[in-house]
Amino acid sequence: MTQLTKAELEEILEELGKHRGRATELITVYIPSGQNIYTVSDQLEAEKSTAKNIKSTSTRKNVINALEKITRYLKTMKKTPENGLAVFCGNVSKVEGQEDLKLWGIEPPMPLKVRMYRCDKEFVLEPLREQLEVSEVFGLLVMDRKEATIGMLEGKRIEVLQHMTSGIPSKVRAGGQSSQRFHRITEGLTKEFYKRIADEMKKVFFDMPKLKGILVGGPIPTKDEFLDNKYLATKLQEKVIGRVDIGDADESGLKEIVAKSHDILENQEIIHEKKVLEKFFETLGEKPDFALYKEEDVRKALEYGAVDVLILSKDLDKKLSKELKKMAESISSEVEVVSTETEEGKQFNNLSGIGALLRFKV
C-alpha cells in the first residue's frame, strides 16, 4: 500500500461514495497516525461477538464477514502507516442475496487525527474529504489611488471578492481652486479610501482560519503608503508576506500579482502546476523528442521505461488516467495531475490531456 496523492484520494472517494448497503453493514475504520495497529485489530475481533446479536441473518453475516476480512488485512501489516489508515469493507453487491465483499485500505496524503469504527448504510468519508479541501488561502489586494480589487487565491483558483473606486478627482483642478486646497482635498479622500479598503479587508479576512498570508500589489508609492501607515488591522498587517510592484488595480492585477509572486507562493498548487506545464511546453518546443503528448507515443514510452514525468489532465477519462498511472508507477515515474483552471492547464487539456517528459529518447 502506498500513500495516496490528493488526486488519487479524490478518485477513490468518488467510488466509495457510490456504494450503499441494504442495512447498517458497511464498515468504516479510521486508525490515526501513531495508533497501535494490533490494538485496533484486537478491538475489531471483539466486535464480532457484538455482531452476533444482530437480528437480521443477512446483515449479521455481512458484518461478521467484513470484520473478519478487515482483521485479516490488519494482521498483514507490521505497523500503522505514517499518516494513519482508513479501511472500508462491506458487501457492495447490487443483487440481493449475492455477496461481493470488498475492502479498501487507504493511507491518506495527510495524517489522520480521527479514530473511528462504524457500521452504517454508507461509508463514512468526511474525515478524508476534509483532506481534499484547500488547507491554505492567500488574500490578494491590488490598489492605486483610483481603485482597488480584493481577491483570494485558493488552491489554483483566483476569486474576485470586492472591487472599489475612490472617487478621487483627476489632477486637473476644478476652476479657481488653489493647488494647496486641491492637494488637501485629494489627500483627505485618499486617506478615506485607504480606510475603506482596510475595513473591507477586515470584513473578508479577519476571521478566515485558513488565511496563510496576504499579498499587496500596486504602484510603488501607493501600496507602500497604505502598508507603512498601517491602515490594516494589526492581525492582517502581520499576515502581509509580500509587496509586489504592478500597474493594474483591477481583476487583471490579481492575476499579475500571483504571477509575480512565484518565490513567495512556490509551494502553492497553482505555481507548481504552472512550472510543470511550462517545462513540458518548453521541452516540446526545444527538444520535441523528449516531450510526448499522443496517447500511443506515451504508452510506448511507458512500456520502454523511458518516462520520467507523466502529466495527466484532471479532465482526462478516469479509466484511461488510472491505467496510465499504474504503468507509470510500475517504472517509478513521477505522476502530475493538472487542472484546467489555469491557461496552461486548458492549453494542455486541449492538446490531448496526456503528456510525458522522457528520461531518454524512444
- Tell which wins on pLDDT, 151 or 185: 151
pLDDT at 245: 95
The CATH code of the domain at 270-358 is 3.30.1330.30
Where in the chain is CATH 3.30.960.10? 6-132
Where in the chain is CATH 3.30.1330.30? 270-358
| pLDDT tens-digit readout, 288-310 | 999 999 999 999 999 999 999 99
Task: Check: CB of residue 108 under 8 Å from CB of residue 132.
Answer: no
Average of per-residue pLDDT across 333-337: 92
- Tell which wins on pLDDT, 96 or 49: 49
Measured CA to CA, the distance from residue 173 to residue 179 in angstroms comes to: 8
First to last CA, the chain: 31
The edge-to-edge listing of strands for the beta sheet with 157-165 is 157-165, 147-154, 137-143, 211-218, 240-245
pLDDT at 171: 62
pLDDT at 329: 87
pLDDT at 269 over 80: no
Q: Can you read off the three cell numbers belonging to residue 235?
A: 492581525
Task: Check: CB of residue 242 under 8 Å from CB of residue 264.
Answer: yes
pLDDT at 74: 95
pLDDT at 174 over 70: no
Q: Tell which CATH architecture fits domain 137-264.
A: 2-Layer Sandwich (3.30)
| pLDDT tens-digit readout, 52-70 | 999 999 999 999 999 999 9
Inter-CA distances, 258 with 21, 277, 310, Å = 46, 17, 26
Average of per-residue pLDDT across 258-280: 86
- Tell which wins on pLDDT, 186 or 308: 308
Cross-strand partners of 141: 150, 216
pLDDT at 95: 85
Average of per-residue pLDDT across 103-122: 93
User: Can you say how many angstroms the Cα of residue 166 is from the centroid of all Cα atoms in its chain?
Assistant: 35
- Tell which wins on pLDDT, 204 or 180: 204
Q: Which helix (H) or strand (E) holds 359?
A: none
Q: Can you read off the three cell numbers belonging to residue 150?
A: 480584493
Task: Check: CB of residue 248 under 8 Å from CB of residue 148.
Answer: no
Task: Check: CB of residue 21 under 8 Å from CB of residue 91.
Answer: yes
Measured CA to CA, the distance from residue 66 to residue 61 in angstroms comes to: 9
Q: Can you read off the three cell numbers belonging to residue 330?
A: 510500475
Q: By C-alpha distance, which of 106, 101, 48 is closest to 77?
A: 106
User: What is the rounded average pLDDT for all residues in the chain?
Assistant: 91
pLDDT at 339 over 80: yes
pLDDT at 76: 93
Q: Tell which CATH architecture fits domain 6-132.
A: 2-Layer Sandwich (3.30)
pLDDT at 177: 59
Task: Check: CB of residue 202 under 8 Å from CB of residue 233.
Answer: yes
pLDDT at 102 over 60: yes
Average of per-residue pLDDT across 73-85: 93
| pLDDT tens-digit readout, 5-20 | 777 888 899 999 999 9
The full length of the chain comes to 362
pLDDT at 175: 53
pLDDT at 361 over 90: yes
Place of cell 524512444: 362
Where in the chain is CATH 3.30.420.60? 137-264
**Strand stretches in the chain, DSSP E:** 26-31, 85-91, 101-106, 116-120, 137-143, 147-154, 157-165, 211-218, 240-245, 291-292, 307-313, 334-338, 354-358
pLDDT at 97: 79
Q: How confident is the model at residue 210 (pLDDT cuts 50, 70, 90)?
A: confident
Regarding beta strands 85-91 and 101-106, do their DSSP bridges make them parallel or antiparallel, or are they unpaired? antiparallel
Give the global pTM.
0.61
Q: How confident is the model at residue 133 (pLDDT cuts 50, 70, 90)?
A: confident
Q: By C-alpha distance, which of 73, 72, 76, 24 is closest to 50?
A: 24
Place of cell 473591507: 200
Measured CA to CA, the distance from residue 160 to residue 140 in angstroms comes to: 9
Is the Cα dihedral 191, 192, 193, 196 positive or negative? positive
pLDDT at 83: 92
DSSP-based helix, strand, coil % in the chain, nearest 5? 40, 25, 35
Percent of residues, the chain, with pLDDT higher than 70: 96
